[in-house]
Amino acid sequence: MELITGRYIDPLTDWGFKRLFGSEPNKDILKDFLNELFKGEKHIVDITYKPNEHAANLRDFKKAIFDLSCTGDNGEQFIVEMQRGKQLYFRDRSVFYTSRLINEQLSVGKESDTYELKEVYLIAVLDFTMDKLPSKQYLRDICLMDKDTGTIFYKKLGYKFLELPNFTKRAEELETGLDRWFYLLKNMSRLDKMPVYFNKRVFEKVFQIAEVSNLTKEEYMSYRTSLEQKWDYENVLSYAVQEAEERKYAEGKQEGKQEGKQEGKQEGKQEGKQEEKIETARKLKGKGYSFTDISEITELSISEIEKL
């Protein structure tokens, strides 16, 4: 199937996301995005990009690799992530990422008699919903809170999850700058021109650098590769969902049959399905997907994937 690109890049590809938000010369774009998210809480004057890989202090600790990592002008730290599909233990992973930044502030060997910490925030743009039940909530603003009083217990740690599927506003219904960011992230790759409602200099810049015709040959090839990976991921995920539904249906039909016969058929099916999972894992591994993503899609363990 021919790969057709629109006028503007897809910001929900790895390359497209970093093109918009991860460039030092264009850091005013990320700064505007963060300020719209934190409006009423803080105003960020400047940001400095940091390495996105954070190795552990000890050999046996797991290292963390972020999509983007930056520091605000007051020392507050931001992890900015884009996630296309649901991941096993996604909430745990989010807490682990922020814990790594907190741990680095008070690392072993630093002389200090205080535990005062800088603020740490994780912002995740999600192309999926965190819960199974339908919801109109498209921004989750999470903090540590006293459950009895409803007051904030600790202000220096927070999580903001942008659930794009729950955002259903049309262009003419957008009211705030954050609404425009939601709309842009969800719809930009399908637009053929910049909407008149985006009358702000930063958005003019976004559409300019996102126009496919403005990419160099090398940039375009990198974008195509990232777009192919996204589509492959979506196709594999769709296949996995369909397979799970067919499996449930087949298991329901087999319920009334004799146990021995059922076990024999089930073993044969499981062997075939296991081979399909292994083959899918090999393809995704060859395309550079993380072991965590492959495990989520195929239901194979990390150790099984490592052996392929």
Q: State residue 30 phi and psi, 5-degree precision.
A: -65, -35
Given a cut of 90, whether residue 180 has pLDDT beyond it is yes
Q: Whole-number mean pLDDT of the chain?
A: 84
Sheet arrangement for strand 139-145: 47-49, 68-72, 77-83, 120-126, 152-163, 139-145
In 136-216, which ranges are continuous DSSP H helix?
177-187, 201-210
Q: How confident is the model over 125-158, as pLDDT tens digits?
A: 999 999 888 889 999 999 999 999 999 999 999 9
Q: Which sequence spans correspond to the domains of the chain?
A: 14-108+116-214, 221-306
Residue 248's SS3 state is helix
- Counting residues of the chain whose pLDDT is more than 70, the rounded percentage is 79
178: amino acid identity, one letter: L
**Nearest Cα to 79, choosing from 67, 88, 62, 89?**
67
Average pLDDT over residues 35-63: 76
> What's the mean pLDDT in 237-244?
58
pLDDT band at 2 (very low <50, low <70, confident <90, very high): low
**Band of residue 115 on the pLDDT scale cut at 50, 70, 90:** confident
Q: Which among 189, 225, 220 is positioned nearest to 207, based on CA atoms?
A: 189
Listed residue (292, 268, 294) closest to 282, CA to CA: 294
Of 55-64, 117-126, 224-233, 290-299, where does mean pLDDT reach its minimum?
A: 55-64
Q: Predicted confidence band at 37 (pLDDT cuts at 50, 70, 90)?
A: very high
Q: How far is CA 72 from the centre of its chain?
A: 21
pLDDT of the residue at 1: 45
Give this prediction's pTM: 0.75
pLDDT in tens, 241-290: 566 566 666 666 655 555 545 555 555 556 667 888 888 888 788 777 77
* pLDDT at site 181: 97
- What pLDDT sits at residue 58? 43
